Chain A
């Protein structure tokens, strides 16, 4: 049974009595422990897909199933990392992580949560910054804290919406490696849905890469390359470079979409 499945899902944003379709007839199955990257042109519905998977939006038509059951309300069984500004600005880094811990484990004392939060911050190499407020941290450091908070929830599903999109190349690479390491070495293998507009990032991290266009999956590419793939990328290994080239070709094939779509996409 798939961990997460979308069956003929439609979703449209409503604004001023007009409908702006974001997903159309989307079918998708994600297995437990899979690292799935979603790429696609702007306006293809990538973030909407993640919001639906989180339970923050409800589909207009179709069904979204979690472990074969209808998707419940947002909860700590799914952890989300947004692109930026998702930490609570009035709490320190350590308190932010501890807040998540106490939500996930009701009854945990504040002292215990803070102690555990410190160890999660250490995992993302942020042990020194526990008493800093988000406004005192750089963009990369904030994302590390956001990842620590998501990991602390010990959720089955990890949803990431372009988490490194606003960072410079060096920081992005560091965080990609860190995320891959934490996911591989975690006590349980989490199911990951990773939204990105960066082809190389998708090729580096994904077990599967889904290409979205006009609200549905147009390509579903498996990436059976060994991990970690940083060395493949830096040595321009043939298999890796071929995958990147194929994805880039798809990007040129599907230009950015303006709403409303003029014609339907060729969905899988």
Chain B
């Protein structure tokens, strides 16, 4: 079965490559950029196939991707039955990565920078204040009810107001991302501190730890596995916030790239932008997974 799937994968891939050199009903750009993408995807699949235990799943995933691309290629380039503006040809879409690489790269750099600022500020404030609030009873009794009321307001509701309020667009975007991540992190930390195993706290108290030590050396490492596993959700939220903010009034970034070409009706660039966001998010998620492996030691809660 696995072998058959592997053969099917490659039949689909070769069929796709053959179609790229077959003149279709629609006039399209040269297929080289698309071919580079196919080559990279195949290379990634082969690497995964070599090391992954679940090869069947990997084969199914790549087969579905090839079939989807085949369908796209046939409907758009070969038979021209799809809407020529709304469904651009895959050759044209992937060609954008070659022709507009500078603009895409600048956008990606701008978005990544903004994301890093918002993410770093929100996480350090959310974790630091959350742990302290969770640990100090008096502070928690005042801060938790306030946070409980403010935190459910979705940042997208007040994002346009913040953009108007802040002096620059970048500062407004950073604030939108920060607020989007801060509240859930802050509340999560308070709840996690409340649920720390009593015996860990008692052991630490018997070792005479001070409040700063309790927060930095006991509570932080204890909640770290939960915090890191929640990072992917936070990342998804912050990318949503970022692209939303960029679509409101930015002059750079991937969100701006997409909304700008939507206004011009250039859906080839829009689809390329969407694919870029997908790849970008995948790479960021991979980085978070690596961070998780590096930071989380010894597993959670088994002392």
Contact = CB atoms under 8 A, between A and B. Distances in A.
Interface in B240-275: none
A251 interface: no
B135 to A, nearest CB: 16
A82 B207 CA distance: 13
B207 to A, nearest CB: 4
Contacts of A40: none
Given A89-B301, A134-B298, A56 B222 contact: no
B211 to A, nearest CB: 12
A134 B302 contact: yes
B297 A133 contact: yes
Interface stretch (A20-28, A70-78, A186-194): A70-78
A142 B302 CA distance: 10
B206 A54 contact: yes
Contacts of B303: 84-89, 134, 142
Nearest to B202: A56
A86 B299 contact: no
B209 A82 contact: no
Interface in B8-28: none
Nearest to B218: A88
A196 interface: no
B298 A80 contact: no
Given A90-B221, A90-B297, A133-B297, A85 B302 contact: yes
Interface of A is mostly: loop
A53 to B, nearest CB: 11
Interface in A148-166: 153
A73 B33 CA distance: 69
Contact of B205 (A74, A133, A134): A74
A92 B203 CA distance: 16
B200 interface: yes
B106 interface: no
Contact of B208 (A51, A56, A74, A86): A74
Which of B199, B202, B208, B301 has the most chain A CB atoms closer than 10 A to its own CB? B208
A253 B232 CA distance: 58
A267 interface: no
A104 B207 CA distance: 7
Interface in B206-229: 206-209, 217-218, 221-222, 224
Q: How many residues of A sit at the interface, in one of the four size bands?
A: 20 to 34
Which of A76, A79, A85, A133 has the most chain B CB atoms closer than 10 A to its own CB? A85
Contacts of B297: 90-91, 133
A78 B297 CA distance: 29
B100 interface: no
A135 interface: yes
Given A85-B197, A88-B303, A133 B207 contact: no
A79 B298 CA distance: 24
B241 to A, nearest CB: 31
B221 A103 contact: no
Given A76-B208, A80-B206, A87-B303, A92 B199 contact: no
Contacts of B207: 76, 99-100, 103-104, 153
Contacts of A103: 207-209
A90 to B, nearest CB: 4
A129 to B, nearest CB: 13
A99 to B, nearest CB: 7
Given A74-B208, A80-B206, 15 more contacts: A54-B202, A56-B202, A74-B205, A75-B208, A76-B207, A80-B203, A87-B303, A89-B200, A90-B297, A90-B298, A100-B207, A103-B209, A133-B299, A135-B298, A135-B299
Interface of B: 197, 199-200, 202-209, 217-218, 221-222, 224, 297-303
- Which 4 residue pairs spanning A and B have beta carbons closest together? A133-B298, A90-B221, A135-B299, A135-B302
26 contacts: A51-B202, A54-B206, A56-B205, A75-B206, A75-B208, A76-B206, A82-B202, A84-B303, A85-B200, A85-B302, A88-B204, A88-B218, A89-B222, A89-B298, A89-B301, A90-B224, A90-B298, A91-B221, A91-B298, A104-B207, A133-B297, A134-B298, A134-B303, A135-B302, A136-B298, A142-B303
